[in-house]
Structure 1
């Protein structure tokens, strides 16, 4: 296997193992250096080779460099395993037309609220001190909208229940341990409430 393909496969494996498409260069090399050493024993400096291949992957648009602290993110066009599960296609060929129309209306409604969340809360991650983002081709910031209280737990598509997060913190909100989820939920609720009030009285 070519070096670039090997490194890209291990980037995806690393992201899947940690449940996040954002990763640091330090953690990736620490985690995967034994894999590269075993796969390419003829290379005397695998760490330098990995750094070079990450640059190639960045040039190919497969990963993005987030900031100057060695943070990378796997581009959203490459789905993680849990995201593939979430996006499995439901066969609606035997469903009634009314059900298809309902699903379409639900999607449009959520897009409207997502845009409103970005308008009200901004296009930066709400987590304190977080600068993880990158720019899209149209120069807008990449950001994700998160339901603080999940819809399946009775949460609503409402501005008070929506937070803007980077890809890393969005995954953390969904897949971290119970205590961390609860702490993050409480923080986001308080921060969204604070920002909405500031906007109202500005």
Structure 2
């Protein structure tokens, strides 16, 4: 049995020391009950044969009495093989608690996952899909079993084909398996495959993702505060065409069900838009215009799914103050979002519609009479009318949208008298 001095020497030999400019990460541990902790491997595991133990994990290793500057020997078991290691608490302020092991266990990890060892030798990036190490206590004090996770190989994960077709609905775990990416977030990058999975979750009102013609306008990363192109995966998406990063779009219409839309690419330069975040604070967000590969048409969707999305967007628009509603309405995209379903449905811009209703102040913009009744929310009932219809190429902007009573709205669709159209255009031009 090795003495602790020999174990320390082995751990520090041949690449064991961590360079001063390396970030120390302790956020890649999780617990599974009281008998197991899980480490997501990273560059420190493969290159420096060590990992930092965060405070939440230290109780598992019984380290309450380990003082700064001291080291404690432990034993790691991988199947029937024994490996000596040690835990030290450094003299840093605050001190770091590190688990370190010798060349034999380090060599086993590198041989088990040669593709990941090679990845970290060549890159300073981290990845969301690295293998896991499962630590569980043995009967002997200071002894732990270590089970290896057989994560997808970097070589087998880079196939050009994906086993899912547009319109297929899968769950989150299957999505993670197919794309070897994280199971969380709206932009899930896999450094292993150079792919990014984009999730447009229409069940959550934090982002206003939508189709406009054949272009999908996808809101960037960051649920609160201002967004920018340099923020995490926003930069990855912005540089995707240049760096050959493949993008795969999923849409969520029912919680937990991910509908595959297809492989997409950045069609135009990103732009800024005013939206509310998850705390209903108005902010600037980065929007990425995407098109399906080959300029394909968006797949068919059930009308009920689109109506659910429209209800969420309407609630967001109603929460905006009028002055904040005017900005995105005036600078919104130039046509209503269109999506083919069993019959064609136009995804009207709810912000534009709500703006027109508020400007009408309960009065029909054609007959100039008060709304005939109030809805269940106690608001004057008026209907939105496009002066030039969307089907005829009209735009979903405040210059083309008015609020009418039901009678005048029907009149416009039945007769569409030129004099009435001129009158409505004049009313729009006189709006503040």
Q: TM-score range by the shorter chain?
A: 0.3 to 0.5
Tell which has more relative contact order, 1 or 2 (C-alpha 8 A, sep 6+). 1
- More strand per residue: 2
- More helix per residue: 1
Question: Greater Rg, structure 1 or structure 2?
Answer: 2
TM-score for the superposition, normalised by structure 1? 0.42
